[in-house]
Amino acid sequence: MITVTILGAGNVASHLYKAFKNAKDVTVKQWYNRTYSDISSYANEVDTTDNLSQLKEADIYIMAVSDDSIASLSRALPFENRLVAHTSGSVSIHDLDKKNQRAVFYPLQTFSKDAELDFSEIPICIEVTEKENLQFMKDLAEALGCTSYKITSEQRQTLHLSAVFVNNFTNQLYRIAHEISDAKSINFDILKPLIMETARKVQDMSPYMAQTGPAKRNDKKTIKRHLKLLENEDHKAIYELLTASIKKTHNYK
C-alpha cells in the first residue's frame, strides 16, 4: 500500500485526493493546506492539517500548489531525505529543495473543481532525480490506472507550452465563438457537435491532415466576408493572424 500526503487544496489537489481515495493500492495519509478552511470539510475522511510540523511520515509528499509556491514550500518542509514531488508542468524539478528526494508527478489535463474526470484517461509525466524512485513513481501512476511517461524538465515544459495551445488558447477561441454567436441570438449548442468532431479527428489523423476551412482552401471571398462580419477589432486581428498561419502552413501566400 502506497501512502500519500497531499500538500495544497487547489483544483489539481482536489482531483488527486479523489483519485487516490478511490485507488485500492493507495492511502491518503494526510492532507495539508495553509488555509485550513479549504480542507476542513474533509476532516471526517482524512487527517487534515494546516501545520507543517504535524506532517506524518508517508511514502511520498505531493505538492499540488501554485508554481510560485513550490520552492518556498519545499524549503519549509520539516524533514529530510523523503520523496517529494510537485505536479507543475512548467517548474523545474530542481526548484524542489535538495534536502529531500525530488520528483515530478505531472497529470496532463485541464482541472476544474466541479468537473468530473476519469483519471485512467490522464497521462502522467514523471521525472526523478534518484533513479531508484522511477519505478515507484510508475507504480503510483499505475495505481490510478494512468499511463505514465518518463520525460525531462525541458520536455515537460515544452509539453506544457503545447498544452496551452491545444487547451487554453482553444478554449479562448470557444469563448470568442460563443460571444459572436450570442450577439446574433444563436444557440452556442449548435456548434458543439463540430467541436467534438474536430477533437475526434485528431485521434486518427495529424492536425495538418485534419485542417479544413476557407484559409486551407485559400477562399479569399469567404475570408473577406468573415472579416466584414466581425465587429470586434480584437476578434478581427485573431481571425487574420490564424488565417495567415493556416495559409502559410498550406503553402498559400
The tens-digit pLDDT sequence of the chain (253 residues) is 999 999 999 889 998 999 999 898 999 999 999 999 999 998 999 999 999 999 999 999 999 999 999 999 999 999 999 999 999 999 999 999 999 999 999 999 888 777 778 888 899 999 999 999 999 999 999 999 999 999 998 999 999 999 999 999 999 999 999 999 999 999 999 999 999 999 999 999 999 999 999 999 999 999 999 999 999 999 999 999 999 999 999 986 6
Q: Quick one: CATH architecture of 156-249?
A: Orthogonal Bundle (1.10)
pLDDT of residue 252: 67
Residues recorded for the chain: 253
CB within 8 A of 14, min separation 6: which ones?
Answer: 111, 113
From the centroid of its chain, how far is CA 109? 4
Q: Where are the domains of the chain?
A: 2-151, 156-249
Q: What is the pTM of this model?
A: 0.84
pLDDT of residue 118: 84
DSSP single-letter state for residue 39 = T
Q: What is the dihedral of CA 160, 82, 143, 132, to 10 degrees?
A: 80
DSSP single-letter state for residue 165 = I
Between the CA of residue 91 and those of 5, 65, 228, what are the distances in Å? 20, 11, 43
Q: What homologous superfamily is domain 2-151 in, according to CATH?
A: NAD(P)-binding Rossmann-like Domain (3.40.50.720)
pLDDT of residue 24: 87
pLDDT of residue 193: 95
